[in-house]
Amino acid sequence: MDKNKTGKYLKYAIGEIILVVIGILIALQINNWNENRKTEVKINNSLLALRNDLIQDTILIAARLPFINEHHNLNESLRARVANPSATVDTLIHIMRYEFNPNWIVQIPYNTNTYLGLNQTGLIENLSDSLKSTIKTFYKTKTSLMDRVEKTTNDYQGKVTSYVNTYTFGATKIHDQGALIDSLVWNHINNSHLAATFQGISNFKRILFNETKEELIFSLENSRDLIKQIDDYINDTNN
């Protein structure tokens, strides 16, 4: 081939290479766009699932709080009656024998699967810094509060076990032990031990109520705030 034809072939070959490179770059760009779009869909679906979890949690909390408040007030009223200057040993015995209920209920079983999934898949890192920080701080604080309640609950249950091994109580139908057992227990009691037992267990129950209320109120208020922030984020990314 003469010199002119060689130059033309080189130009043609270079042009082909450039076209191939451009084609590859376009294909990569399209693939990246598709992957980003898939990630956005996954994030959107995860946020919707998280939003639903939070809504269900707020429903459970709203149903539980009145019960906690009612029994907290009852516990405080019993303590106030015993602390009243006019209170007698009979006042304490009547409260412990017929009115005081040492029972407690387990914590709300919150659904954290979606949050855990966001962390395990790394999708949470694709969120805005503000939303990511809010979600992580919320669940970290919530977990800390729940762990504290669980520890206090375990300590309280130990005191309840000691209490029911010594005394009977008739505040609930399920613990109706009958007249014979009831009389055998209460006809031979140590008043000082009874007073110390009531003071310890009712005070521990007060602590448990306060910690539980703190966790529930924190979770309720911050769940509602987080739901709003998720809604705003979804609206902004979809518009």
Amino acid of residue 199: Q
Could you tell me the two tokens for 215? 């966790």
What pLDDT, on a 0 to 100 scale, did the predictor assign at position 173?
Answer: 64
| Per-residue model confidence as pLDDT tens for the chain (239 residues) | 455 666 677 777 777 788 778 877 787 777 666 667 777 888 999 999 999 999 999 999 999 999 999 999 999 999 999 999 999 999 999 999 888 888 888 899 999 999 999 999 999 999 999 999 999 999 999 999 999 999 999 999 988 888 888 888 765 666 666 778 888 888 889 999 999 999 999 999 999 999 999 999 999 999 999 999 999 999 888 77
| pLDDT for position 176 | 65
In the prediction, which pLDDT does 4 show?
62
Do residues 85 and 157 touch, judged by C-beta distance below 8 A? no
Q: How much of the chain is helix, strand and coil, in % rounded to 5?
A: 85, 0, 15
Q: Is the dihedral of CA 125, 126, 132, 135 positive or negative?
A: negative
Angstrom distances, CA of residue 75 to CA of 35, 80, 101, 141: 58, 9, 9, 28
**What b/e readout covers 133-161, taking b as 16+ CB neighbours within 10 angstroms?**
ebbeebbeebeebbeebeebbeebeebee
Check residue 22 and give its pLDDT.
Answer: 82
Q: Classify burial at 85, counting beta carbons within 10 Å of its beta carbon; exposed 0-12, middle 13-18, buried 19 or more.
A: exposed
Residue 131: both structure tokens together: 């939303």
Between CA 117 and CA 214 the distance in angstroms is 27
pLDDT for res 53 = 96
Domain segments of the chain as ranges:
3-238
pLDDT at residue 13, rounded to an integer: 76
- pLDDT, position 11: 73
Q: In this predicted structure, what is the pLDDT of residue 2?
A: 54
Instruction: Name the amino acid, one letter, at 32.
Output: N
The pLDDT value recorded for residue 112 is 92
| pLDDT in the model for residue 78 | 95
